[in-house]
């Protein structure tokens, strides 16, 4: 596995690979790799000749009161994990090389950031799209893979690729969960033991709504009520949003359909956790997530 910190060197390596006829996939991450990230590597490994994993905690996507400083970082562990899953190239730039000057020109997500996390975290998706665009321009991959836990992120990235004619295929992979249903996330590291016991209530809430949906319920207020029951029973969970949205426009809907996304965000202690389900998934409804 080659490790590269310089964007020009990264592009030179990628171009040499492409020139030799090899295809490249990029798995963009902020490090603190967990099984969810590693499954992204496994997925793209099957489809391309070279896998590049980028590790960069992107300051541009953190608000001034958010957890940029506290975000878990462990490059030695990440390096071993990425290597263990067959990564060919590790791209580990510093903030100084990614943003040698303030990022004046940025990619904006427009109305796609009006709901869910976009409404709660002003500027977040602008920061995500800008860094992902930079990573795409540096690595020039054929394929890039993202986790569906960040459903809104996957939708805005797919839309950027479409709207800006980027020649890159976007793969969106199912959420990987702990045994008790908690969606894997680097931010789970913030949870105390007691909070960790409470956190799976979010996934239980989504499951309850999904059961109701499979039982024929389509009214969003009743699906939300079904999801809230397990969540509200845990006072430590402070709900930020619980919404059902269209999988392409991300606009809230009143009547759910197969492939609508039910998404939740909640604070617990120092952590802000997000999760979602695709209603009807597993019953022939395609998880569309932005397409
Ligand atoms: O999902 C993440 O870890 C980040 O938002 C991403 C896509 C690597 C951009 O910084």
pLDDT in single tens digits along all 291 residues of the chain: 999 999 999 999 999 999 999 999 999 999 999 999 999 999 999 999 999 999 999 999 999 999 999 999 999 999 999 999 999 999 999 999 999 999 999 999 999 999 999 999 999 999 999 999 999 999 999 999 999 999 999 999 999 999 999 999 999 999 999 999 999 999 999 999 999 999 999 999 999 999 999 999 999 999 999 999 999 999 999 999 999 999 999 999 999 999 999 999 999 999 999 999 999 998 866 677 877
> What is the model's pLDDT at position 282?
82
Taking Cα atoms as reference points, which of 28, 27, 107 lies closest to residue 60? 107
For the question of residue 210 being annotated catalytic, the response is no
90: number of Cβ within 10 Å: 21
Residue whose CA is at the smallest distance from ligand 1 atom 8: 29
Is the alpha carbon torsion for 83, 87, 89, 91 positive or negative? negative
Residue whose CA is at the smallest distance from ligand 1 atom 2: 29
Atom of ligand 1 nearest to the CA of 61: 10
What domains lie within the chain, and their CATH numbers? 2-173 (3.40.50.620), 186-278 (3.30.1300.10)
3-class DSSP state for residue 184?
coil
56 Cα to the center of ligand 1, angstroms:
8
Best substitution site from 135, 150, 156, 168 to test ligand 1's pocket, by max atoms within 8 Å of Cβ? 150
- pTM of structure: 0.96
Atom of ligand 1 nearest to the CA of 157: 7
> What is the model's pLDDT at position 226?
98
| Per-residue burial over 92-106, b = 16 or more CB atoms within 10 Å of its CB, e = otherwise | bbeeeebbeeebeee
Atom of ligand 1 nearest to the CA of 147: 1
The reply to whether ligand 1 has any atom less than 6 angstroms from the CB of 279 is no
> By the 8 A CB rule, do 44 and 145 touch?
yes
Residue whose CA is at the smallest distance from ligand 1 atom 6: 29
The reply to whether ligand 1 has any atom less than 6 angstroms from the CB of 58 is yes
Name all contacts of 196-201 with Cβ < 8 Å and 24+ positions apart.
198/234, 198/236, 198/237, 198/268, 199/237, 199/268, 199/271, 199/273, 201/230, 201/231, 201/233, 201/234, 201/237
215 Cα to the center of ligand 1, angstroms:
35
Q: What is the spatial distance between Cα 40 and Cα 174, in angstroms, rounded to a whole number? A: 9
């Amino acid at each position: 596995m080659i490790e590269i910190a310089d964007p020009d060197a990264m592009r030179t390596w990628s171009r040499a690979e492409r020139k030799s006829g090899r295809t490249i996939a990029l798995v963009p991450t902020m490090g603190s790799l967990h099984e969810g990230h590693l499954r992204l590597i496994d997925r793209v490994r099957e489809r391309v000749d070279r896998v590049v994993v980028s590790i960069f905690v992107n300051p541009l996507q953190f608000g001034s009161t958010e957890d940029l400083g506290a975000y878990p970082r462990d490059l030695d562990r990440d390096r071993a994990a990425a290597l263990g899953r067959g990564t060919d190239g590790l791209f580990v730039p510093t903030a100084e090389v990614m943003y040698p000057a303030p990022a004046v020109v940025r990619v904006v997500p427009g109305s796609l950031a009006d709901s869910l996390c976009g409404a709660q975290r002003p500027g977040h998706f602008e920061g995500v799209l800008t860094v992902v665009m930079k990573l795409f321009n540096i690595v020039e991959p054929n394929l890039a893979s993202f986790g569906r836990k960040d459903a809104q992120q996957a939708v805005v990235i797919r839309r950027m690729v479409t709207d800006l004619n980027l020649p890159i295929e976007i793969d969106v992979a199912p959420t990987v969960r702990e045994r008790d249903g908690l969606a894997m996330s680097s931010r789970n590291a913030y949870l105390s033991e007691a909070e960790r016991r409470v956190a799976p209530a979010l996934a239980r809430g989504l499951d309850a709504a999904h059961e109701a949906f499979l039982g024929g319920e389509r009214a969003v207020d009743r699906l939300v009520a079904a999801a809230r029951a397990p969540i509200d029973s845990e006072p430590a969970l402070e709900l930020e949003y619980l919404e059902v949205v269209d999988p392409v426009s991300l606009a809230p809907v009143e009547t759910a359909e197969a492939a609508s996304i039910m998404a939740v965000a909640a604070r617990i202690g120092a952590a802000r956790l997000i999760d979602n389900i695709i209603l009807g998934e597993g019953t022939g409804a395609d998880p569309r997530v932005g397409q």
